[in-house]
Amino acid sequence: MALLGGNPSTQGIKLDLKTTTSVFEPGNLSVTCIRVETSNIASPPKPLLIVTPTIQGTYPVLLFLHGFELRNTFYTQLLQLISSHGYIVVAPQLYGLLPPSGIQEIKSAAAVTNWLSSGLQSVLPENVKPDLLKLALSGHSRGGKTAFALALGYADTSLNFSALLGLDPVGGLSKCSQTVPKILTYVPHSFNLAIPVCVIGTGLGDEPRNCLTCPCAPDGVNHVEFFSECKPPCSHFVTTEYGHLDMLDDHLSGCIGAISGYICKSGKGPRDPMRRCVGGLFVAFLKAYLEGQTGDFKAIVDEPDLAPVKLDPVEFIEA
């Protein structure tokens, strides 16, 4: 485990293992999944999967952008875990079979962001309210790069993001072949971001599945470089023994779902521990930086073995 900037202080925080590991298990809130099409009276700019608590309350909002050629529904189990801890998750389907240009994908994500203030409340359960002053942005794979680009201002949004999470973000095929816009500069701490960032990488993402395939998260454009270019406060967790798609649902529908199992190298064993690890890291980070509840996050940084899968390295640079 590498800790940059020193071990974050846990003085005054009582580390109850049951409490600090509970983020890796489903939370206490019941949740529901809501599909909202563009034809809905709320008129979202893209089809949405919304996973939300059903119990009365006001909850922070997480915008989650899917990976390259993937469906937003492929993340349902992961998003349900996150939502059960008290978050409204909005996952747009940014495109169909053919991905748009990188710039257009960023603009689509911005359009969904701008819709939240006028349309989100109308599609939520009764007495469930979004707190858009606590809005986090996240994405997986190409969607992770899109999330970074949106946070960096490549498209205008009417709302401000309070935190950013990149789940095995990918910026292209190689250092010499970035996707447009080319946001990686290869200069440490060069991202012009004033919000906390969490980067979650996979240990097998930079390895090809076989001799006929390419790595899904190649060296030079993957989580390592994204974290390197973040300013403090920033954190980096790597799920050493799992692959680029191992946080997806167990059963994926359609042709894309069937093909996805043959593209990226996967870890051995079931996906559930990986999903619980990723979901728990999301929850711990969001609790720390949206709600000021730092105990779980600091406990995981101090003791990575609390996670259900091996985390190495674990890096945290304080502000």
* Residues labelled as active-site residues: 141, 168, 244
Within 13 Å and on the Cβ side, how many CA atoms surround 61? 22
The kind and range of the H/E element at 273 are: helix 272-291
CA proximity to 206, closest of 243, 177, 167, 171: 243
- Our CA dihedral for 316, 188, 149, 181, rounded to 10 degrees, sits at -150
| Cα-to-chain-centroid distance, residue 71 | 15
Q: Which residues of 73-111 are buried (b: 16+ CB within 10 A; e: fewer)?
A: bbbbbbbbbbbbbbbbbbbbbbeeeeeeebeebbbbbbb
